[in-house]
């Protein structure tokens, strides 16, 4: 029984990660590995203090006979691995869904975004802020809303930051490249979590949960948690791709477009001032992509074997 949590990984999370790696492997570049590694690092660093607080305050618990034993700040080793494997798996799904796209064609200056896009961007920002306030209220009030409140308080600031930086770009992307990488791993992890809760691999403190289940033993808070974390991963990758697309698209600003840009370069890209000439360059890339797709959709898809600025140059030829 002490291997129960480890078996969750051996039976469900690791095999899925392995299959996705095999499916992605022919297309993965150093840049994809770099993005994934950065997201995994951020996920681990951002989640450890929050998770440690929950465990130490008995918001959720792990029976001693369900875990191997080693912990870090009260967090079982298996839980720490979950931070890594979930972020990795969702990242692999995102990379697979986005591989055919030339991200530069989806760039848009904030001022040039359509009314609908700008409005949707602001509405989502407001919704995230409202959820953060709701989380603060629930956590402050204590009792049955504590766990849900702590989830919202933790997740919403990160969601607001990444959405503010990359939201307009994320809206422009096809829904199959953003919604599916959120929905698919969320549904899978809901099923895994429901089984673990039913077996008692982990549990939520009865005084800190609302007590509503989505189906079977899947608690509402756990469903919200996995949805929120996958949203954070995709929002983070979207903001990352936004910065990379800017670096690739504008050699006048970034003469060198490295596969693994430094954090400073990524931040510079996200805050790059837009000019009319830069907007025209993106329009030219869009026209080139549309023309190429009309003449040879297969060549456009084949061009995705190249990455970064090289692919843009091929499309513009």
* pLDDT tens profile 146-195: 999 999 999 999 999 999 999 999 999 999 999 999 999 999 999 999 99
Asked if pLDDT for residue 26 goes beyond 90, the answer is no
Listed residue (187, 198, 227, 232) closest to 66, CA to CA:
198
Q: Which domain does 104 fall in, by range? A: 4-275
Asked if pLDDT for residue 65 goes beyond 90, the answer is no
Give CA–CA dist 289/297, Å, rounded.
Answer: 9
291 occurs within a structural domain = no
108 occurs within a structural domain = yes
Instruction: Identify the H or E element spanning 24.
Output: helix 14-24
Residue 196 corresponds to which tokens in the numbers above? 């673990």
267 occurs within a structural domain = yes
285 occurs within a structural domain = no
Distance in Å from the first CA to the final CA of the chain: 61
Asked if pLDDT for residue 249 goes beyond 90, the answer is yes
Band the pLDDT of 222: cuts 50, 70, 90: very high
Give CA–CA dist 256/135, Å, rounded.
Answer: 43
303 occurs within a structural domain = no
Can you give the pLDDT at residue 308? 79
Residue 102 contacts residue 311 (beta carbons within 8 Å): yes
Give CA–CA dist 309/314, Å, rounded.
Answer: 9
289 occurs within a structural domain = no
295 occurs within a structural domain = no
Can you give the pLDDT at residue 299? 66
311 occurs within a structural domain = no
Q: What is the mean pLDDT of residues 137-146?
A: 92
Structural domains of the chain, count:
1
Q: What is the mean pLDDT of the chain?
A: 91
pTM value is 0.94
Can you give the pLDDT at residue 231? 98
């Amino acid at each position: 029984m002490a291997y129960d949590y480890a078996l969750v990984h051996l039976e469900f999370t690791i095999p899925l990660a392995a299959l996705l790696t095999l499916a992605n492997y022919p297309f993965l570049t150093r840049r994809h590995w770099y993005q994934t590694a950065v997201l995994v690092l951020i996920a681990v660093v951002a989640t450890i203090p929050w998770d440690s607080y929950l465990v130490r305050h008995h918001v959720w618990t792990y029976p001693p006979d369900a875990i191997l034993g080693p912990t870090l700040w009260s967090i079982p080793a298996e839980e720490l691995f979950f931070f890594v494997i979930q972020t990795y798996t969702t990242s692999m799904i995102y990379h697979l869904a986005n591989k055919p796209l030339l991200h530069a064609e989806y760039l848009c200056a904030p001022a040039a975004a359509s009314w609908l896009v700008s409005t949707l961007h602001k509405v989502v920002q407001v919704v995230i802020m409202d959820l953060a306030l709701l989380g603060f209220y629930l956590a402050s009030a204590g009792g049955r809303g504590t766990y849900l409140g702590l989830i919202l308080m933790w997740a919403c600031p990160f969601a607001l930051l990444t959405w503010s930086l990359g939201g307009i770009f994320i809206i422009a992307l096809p829904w199959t490249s953003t919604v599916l990488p959120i929905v698919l791993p969320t549904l899978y992890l809901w099923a895994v979590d429901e089984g673990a809760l039913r077996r008692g691999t982990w549990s939520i403190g009865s005084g800190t949960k609302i007590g509503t289940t989505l189906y079977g033993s899947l608690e509402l808070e756990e469903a919200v948690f996995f949805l929120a974390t996958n949203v954070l991963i995709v929002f983070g990758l979207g903001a990352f791709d936004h910065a990379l697309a800017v670096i690739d698209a504008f050699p006048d600003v970034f003469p060198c477009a490295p596969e693994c840009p430094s954090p400073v370069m990524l931040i510079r890209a996200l805050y790059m001032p837009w000019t009319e000439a830069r907007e025209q360059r993106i329009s030219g890339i869009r026209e080139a992509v549309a023309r190429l797709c009309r003449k040879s959709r297969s060549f456009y898809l084949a061009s995705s074997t190249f990455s970064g600025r090289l692919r843009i140059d091929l499309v513009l030829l």
